[in-house]
Structure 1
Amino acid sequence: MTGSEALTRGLLAGYQHLVRPALFRARGGDAEKIHEDMIQALGLVGHVPQPVLGLGTAAMARRSSTLVAGIDFPGRVGVAAGLDKNGVAARAWAGLGFGFAELGTVTAFGQPGNPKPRVFRARESRGIVNRMGFNNEGATALAERLDGWGVRRGNRALGIPLGISLGKTKVTPLEDAVEDYLTSLRLLADKADYVAINISSPNTPGLRSLQDGEALRELVTALVAETRELDPSDQVPVFVKVAPDLTTEALDEVLATCVEAGVRGMIATNTTLARDGLVGQDRSLATEAGGLSGAPLTVRSREMVRHIAETTDLPVMGVGGIMTPADAQAMFDAGASLVQLYTGFIYHGPALVRGINRLG
């Protein structure tokens, strides 16, 4: 075993046997409160000093860069939307070895999200069920936070590219969704290296209908056109995030619309409404509303990434069920240019980031 491999195993063991049990017991086991505490702690730390426990330097070992949609990503593994909704910990992600971070999902106006409790760990299944409902402080608050840190598109003020995921405000009627997304885009486009259009969360009523036919065409055409208005010479790339529950036929329609509208890439996938991946005592969560993430999504997300890569020339960010470096490699083999972590990071910590970076 090399010293690098030993360090990776040590980080994983330390997180799984010491850090994670302590986190999962804290706050009476309330998953959402624990998550909020973690994000706030990372926010207070700011730029995580890389020498601390060797985490930063270790996690970036052998990291390889890649060019996607005109963006130079210093590493191929990033933070998925939902992990840092308000950008509170945005200054910390580079120091943990991530090559990019997608902040949000943020909406035009701040909102509290769905009633609590709304986050449930499926430990045996290595998953999470959530029905958060885009709880966030709003696009203006995120813009002001990033402004305070001097973030501008392309300047790498926080060390890595930043994507920003945009969603629809819950109280905004579906017929006004386009203007709602445009409001957020106008506030944040000059701070984002790319924007992700989230039309696939299952936790905002009616949102997934925006993946359908004319509604999708109107939305993505308007957003891409607005990026040209905002910066005619170098518009911010637009990515679209899709649901894993789409049929192949529906996915093909989405892809055709995105290509026609000038979308620069896809993100596959969001959480699933399916519950067949729950095992053991976790089956009691089958009746909880919300989206399921983590290991139960591994195969489906990879299948969708492969289909997108084989069907179009659009680059794909693979997200969903990446719990091990082998899962990430399978995503890359399926055609993903980049991968993102959420649930895998919760369960396995920085060692997973390091392990994926070591894939080269």
Structure 2
Amino acid sequence: MKKFNIIISLKLKLLTEIVFSFILTIVYLGTIAWYFLVPYFMKHEDNIDVEFGNFLISIYLISALLFFVMCFLLMSNRHIKYIKYIAKEVNLIASGNLGKNLEVKGKDELGELCININSMSKELKDKFEYERELERTKSELITNVSHDLRTPLTPIIAYLDILRNEKFRTKEEEKEYLNSSYNLSIKLKKLIDELFEYTKLSSKEVVLDLVEVDICPILNQLVGEYAPMFESKELRVVTQISDAELPVKIDVEKMVRVFENILSNAEKYSFKPSDIIVKADNKGDNVVISISNKGEYIEQDKLSRMFEKFYRVDLSRSSNIEGSGLGLAISKKIVELHNGQIEAECDGEIITINIKLPINCNVGGLR
């Protein structure tokens, strides 16, 4: 109904301008006739020149037609200027000035056209920036991953060459080479899997399988699974999880991946022996999950970069620690897909990662 009214609006404007131009032309005809033609014909009614009279009437009618056209053009001139303005701005958008907004004047078709052009311009800009970011990410991934891919591949090829040419001396040595090749292959597979996962999460087509759950049992179960491994490495897990239900709408599999990444990171970089503290509580409209560990002090500028892909806080230590450098970047992508936030803070030797998840919200990517 609204669109119908908008279409009628411009037609009415044009019709009104035509009618008004016609009325002015009638006034013009009457004025010219009353002050010039009628006095002339009355004065020369006895000896009027028919040919000259016809000429005057022709001039009179032609001038009326020109007057009508001039009036209509003057009144519709703003529409013409607006159309020229739209054409000029569209050319600027076509030349690469994406995201440019046109001034919307009125609520007729031209105004609606400007609104549609603005929407198209923004959509094109967003798409272009997304494609450019995707290309930049792809190039960055290739650059950063090339070294990580070569690292396990080189010894795998060397071990397989030894086995293929039977250069080992004993069965134990053969088994050792096989085990090393297998372990390095697993490491390589893990890296490739994480690359695929990060790329998939960066896509706009990613879909979350959302269900409403109580986050507390999930955390308790996960901590229980990790506790034996932590204890074997002189790490104790301390839980401070709310007794009350903390309902959130999440993709359980993906969110468990987030907690696993953070716990794995805490295990790798914690001082031994020390405690890893897992907290979960309700704060306002959010459920806040915090995982803290004791490790080396991290400066604020490095904390803000922890969730960048391939970023490692301490390169000298990281070279001896397994991992692709994508774990926290993947975690950030997943949390943001849930309309949540993830951040790191450091208080002396205590490093804490906080995850905020909305209790009730409409989450993007719902299936």
TM-score range with shorter-chain normalisation? under 0.3
TM-score, structure 2 normalization = 0.20
TM-score by structure 1 length?
A: 0.20
More helix by share: 2
Which structure's relative contact order is higher, taking Cα pairs within 8 Å and 6+ residues apart? 1
Higher gyration radius (CA): 2
